[in-house]
Amino acid sequence: MSRPKSKLQGPWIIKGKRARAESFNPIQDHSHEYSHGCPSPQAGLGRSKGDARSSDDQKDEIPVENYVAQRYIENPYLIGGRKFDLRVYVLVMSYIPLRAWLYRDGFARFSNTRFTLSSIDDQYVHLTNVAVQKTSPDYHPKKGCKWMIQRFRQYLASKHGPEAVETLFSDMDNIFIRSLQSVQKVIISDKHCFELYGYDILIDQDLKPWLLEVNASPSLTASSQEDYELKTCLLEDTLHVVDMEARLTGREKRVGGFDLMWNDGPVSREEGAPDLSGMGNFVTNTHLGCVNDRKKQLRQLFRSLQSQKKASS
């Protein structure tokens, strides 16, 4: 009698609650051990009756831990034969109503070894985390393994054209908003709190973005001078949006490197109330990977706010 085809074909990743970002636990085929997540009947064969205990006793002794199972993307988009993912920053000022800002800067993190599925256990091939890659024997600390997201966007535009790139980045916008909306009702909403998230996005060969994970406390450790400048500006602009000095009016759609992408609804690039009836000409107010002239914008913003204040006094 032939064995039924396993539903778990191909590599899968299992990650426990306490697993670190640099852990990598691939599963090629679990059909011989598990059936729909439960141990197979053969797992208990070979025990003597004296060793057998009731299943209830065993359940009490075995600690329960939650795991996340993810299908491994076998066709990632490669640059120079190497795998990469994107780190993008989203600032949430409120969940009810949802108010979220997208940062213009980010980076692509590359593996230091050419991609192949023949060595599925090689972390230097499959994990792009800097904590992993910097331990690679041929890692170059000055060159690093990162591209600024502006350089990545320009590369894609030169290879696939601007329309394909606009579609890709629009799909990523949807990932940011839909993921926040999915937890909107379970996150405690406090008007005195904010959260800066680090999104990890993988792109496949069809230019389709996949959400890997959302980091509630993204690392702000710099691995290069360029990385240091990005993260210091990110923190500075975060504090500008938080606005503890109460300098902003609350109607701003851009503050430094942050663009307001959702304010209890989509935010349009155009001034005034957007017409959402057909959504035909609607363009979301996001500029990920575009020019980040944050210093010039901040000077203009605060000069304008100061003039408004003087005029009203």
Q: Which two tokens stand for residue 278?
A: 């057909």
Which residue is associated with the tokens 């405690």?
188
Give tens-digit pLDDT for 133-161.
Answer: 666 766 666 666 889 999 999 999 999 99
Taking only the tens place, the pLDDT of each residue in 14-46 is 777 665 554 455 555 443 333 333 333 343 334
Q: Which residue has the higher pLDDT, 245 or 62?
A: 245
pLDDT at 169 over 60: yes
Query: Of 126 and 86, which is predicted with more confidence?
Result: 86
Q: Is the peptide bond before 11 cis (omega within 30 degrees of 0)?
A: no
Question: Following DSSP, what letter does each residue of 202-258 receive, concatenated?
Answer: EEBTTS-EEEEEEESS-----SSHHHHHHHHHHHHHHHHHHTTT----S--SEETTE
Which pLDDT score is estimated for 206? 96
pLDDT at 192: 87
- The predicted pLDDT at position 144 comes to 61
pTM over 0.85: no
Beta strand ranges found along the chain (DSSP E): 12-16, 26-27, 34-35, 38-39, 67-71, 84-95, 98-110, 146-148, 195-203, 209-215, 254-255, 258-263
Give the span between the Cα atoms of 300 and 183, in whole angstroms: 36
What b/e readout covers 11-24, taking b as 16+ CB neighbours within 10 angstroms? bbbebeeeeeeeeb
* Of 143 and 97, the one with more pLDDT: 97
Instruction: Tell me what pLDDT residue 39 has.
Output: 36
Give me the percent of the chain exceeding a pLDDT of 90.
51
